[in-house]
Amino acid sequence: MQDRTPLEAYDVVDLIATKRHARELAPAEIAWVVDAFTRGLVAPEQMSALLMAIVIQGMGRREIRDLTAAMIASGERLSFAGLGRPAIDKHSTGGVGDKITLPLVPLLAALGVAVPQLSGRGLGHTGGTLDKLESIPGWRADLSNDEMYRALRDTGGVICAAGPGLAPADRAMYALRDVTGTVASLPLIASSIMSKKIAEGADGLVLDVKFGSGAFVPSLTEARELASTMVQLGDDSGLRTVALLTDMDAPLGRAVGNANEVREAVDVLHGGGPADVVELTLSLAREMLALAGMPDLDPGPALADGRALAAWRRIIVAQGGDPEAALPVARETEIVRASATGIVQRVDARAVGVGAWRLGAGRARPGDPVDHAAGVEVLVRPGDTVRAGDPLFEVNCDDPGRLARGLESLATAVELGAAAPVERPLIAGRIASADASSAASSARSASRSTTA
């Protein structure tokens, strides 16, 4: 008979029943089930049942904290001591056209802040930073811890995939959540994000929590709760954390895809680019500089004078890429035109993201290939006046067989009206430590919030 430690005395079926009946799991119970699942002592079917019970019944603040701690304890913790500069990370909850990491990391690196950016790949209608960067010939996402540290020391910025040793329990649990309909849960989202960010070992973290049709969180209320929960988790662990709440109801910038988003990011690094991409890049940069102890430093000039662009080139070269190489260009292009005259009220970010995904820019399952040349160029913004026949979108892909489904998604993505729409701010709020303490509710009903 296999030896059992005291922690292995729990029966996972009892823990599933506890959560199914909306009772709290004890700290030792949470620590045991996460550890036992990681070691293969809890079957995937059993963990899936527990995850579904959490989605339905929620978790209290203490449970979320204990779940996060257990996932951190399942693997290694990194350290960036010895870099000679503060290490400040940024995380976005994801959205359509969100290429902010690309100009933000070199901008901060040019200003003396190290940015260890562990990023992911796209799934469904939201894009992945690593997929975008893999449009660049030679660039690679998979670095060892030593390679990541050296790149960060030498260039000030690194954008790469998380290694297998970082919060492996979260990696295994997310693989189950992805195929069992249990992604959309505030406790699970918060603990998944923060377990990796805390284990990463940065000195501070800025969160970009998105809401709207192009985000996983549809409402500002849910985004505020998620942000508050994550900020408190960071503070509980000693990681100074700030969150911005940003509107993702319309695509961010004009490019949605992979290679086209890299081009747009490089435009920003040349001192140009869409106004909303520049605004969010600078807003996040200011928050990161404040956490780095440079609250009075203006990041704007570094975009205009070439310092950030030079840092971008160094960062890309350090990961094997050629920043001067031509990016992929699609073989098929089609224009979507307005069928009527009016003022643009709304550009539905989800519809645009789904269109780009159908064209081949995204993937339906982990491991699927992506078409780096595929994507959508958004040619209008809310408030623009268009006439029948004016171009709304430029659609690009390599596979002509994908065009029809991509165009179908974009057919109703633009809403027209007779009057100018009410202007919406890009940044709808900010959550810092004191705000999170007052805003986060410990009531279980509040923690049941989902993003379906």
* pLDDT score recorded for residue 178: 77
Given a cut of 50, whether residue 51 has pLDDT beyond it is: yes
Contacts of 146 (CB under 8 A, 6+ apart): none
Q: Are 215 and 184 in contact (CB under 8 A)?
A: no
The answer to whether domain 9-58 has CATH 3.50.50.60 is no
User: Minimal CA–CA distance to 210: which of 248, 243, 253, 251?
Assistant: 248
* pLDDT score recorded for residue 261: 97
Instruction: Tell me the two tokens of residue 212.
Output: 């709207």
> Please, where in the chain does CATH 3.90.1170.30 lie?
332-417
Q: Are 360 and 371 in contact (CB under 8 A)?
A: yes
Distance CA 321, CA 302 (A): 23
Given a cut of 70, whether residue 116 has pLDDT beyond it is: yes
Instruction: State the SS3 of the chain.
Output: CCCCCHHHHCCHHHHHHHHHCCCCCCHHHHHHHHHHHHCCCCCHHHHHHHHHHHHHHCCCHHHHHHHHHHHHHCCCCCCCCCCCCCEEEEEECCCCCCCCHHHHHHHHHHCCCEEEEEECCCECCECCHHHHHCCCCCCCCCCCHHHHHHHHHHHCEEEEECCCCCCHHHHHHHHHHHHHCCCCCHHHHHHHHHHHHHHHCCCEEEEEEEECCCCCCCCHHHHHHHHHHHHHHHHHHCCEEEEEEEECCCCCCCEEECHHHHHHHHHHHCCCCCHHHHHHHHHHHHHHHHHCCCCCCCCHHHHHCCHHHHHHHHHHHHCCCCCCCCCCCCCEEEEEECCCCEEEEEECHHHHHHHHHHHHHCCCCCCCCCCCCCEEEECCCCCCEECCCCEEEEEEECCHHHHHHHHHHHCCCEEEECCCCCCCCCEEEEECHHHHHHHCCCCHHHHCCCCC
* pLDDT score recorded for residue 122: 67
Given a cut of 60, whether residue 7 has pLDDT beyond it is: no
- Least trusted range by pLDDT, from 98-102, 201-205, 367-371: 367-371
Q: Which amino acid is at 173?
A: M
Given a cut of 60, whether residue 431 has pLDDT beyond it is: yes
- Least trusted range by pLDDT, from 56-60, 164-168, 391-395: 164-168
CATH of domain 88-163+187-324+427-441: 3.40.1030.10
Percent of the chain with pLDDT over 70: 92
Distance CA 308, CA 314 (A): 10
Among all residues, which ones are annotated catalytic? 91, 170, 177, 192, 196
Mean pLDDT of all residues in 169-184? 87
Overall pTM surpassing 0.85 (yes/no):
yes
Residue 366's pLDDT band, with cuts at 50, 70 and 90, is: low
Mean pLDDT of all residues in 15-24? 97
Given a cut of 80, whether residue 126 has pLDDT beyond it is: no
Given a cut of 90, whether residue 367 has pLDDT beyond it is: no
Mean per-residue pLDDT of the chain: 91
Mean pLDDT of all residues in 290-310? 96
> Please, where in the chain does CATH 3.40.1030.10 lie?
88-163+187-324+427-441
- Least trusted range by pLDDT, from 179-193, 281-295, 343-357, 403-417: 179-193
CATH superfamily of the 332-417 domain = Pyrimidine nucleoside phosphorylase-like, C-terminal domain (3.90.1170.30)
* pLDDT score recorded for residue 26: 96
* pLDDT score recorded for residue 82: 86
> Please, where in the chain does CATH 1.20.970.10 lie?
9-58
* pLDDT score recorded for residue 120: 80
Q: Are 28 and 162 in contact (CB under 8 A)?
A: no
Residue 271's pLDDT band, with cuts at 50, 70 and 90, is: very high
Given a cut of 50, whether residue 385 has pLDDT beyond it is: yes
Residue 447's pLDDT band, with cuts at 50, 70 and 90, is: very low
Given a cut of 90, whether residue 215 has pLDDT beyond it is: no
Mean pLDDT of all residues in 82-104? 94
* pLDDT score recorded for residue 276: 97
Residue 64's pLDDT band, with cuts at 50, 70 and 90, is: very high
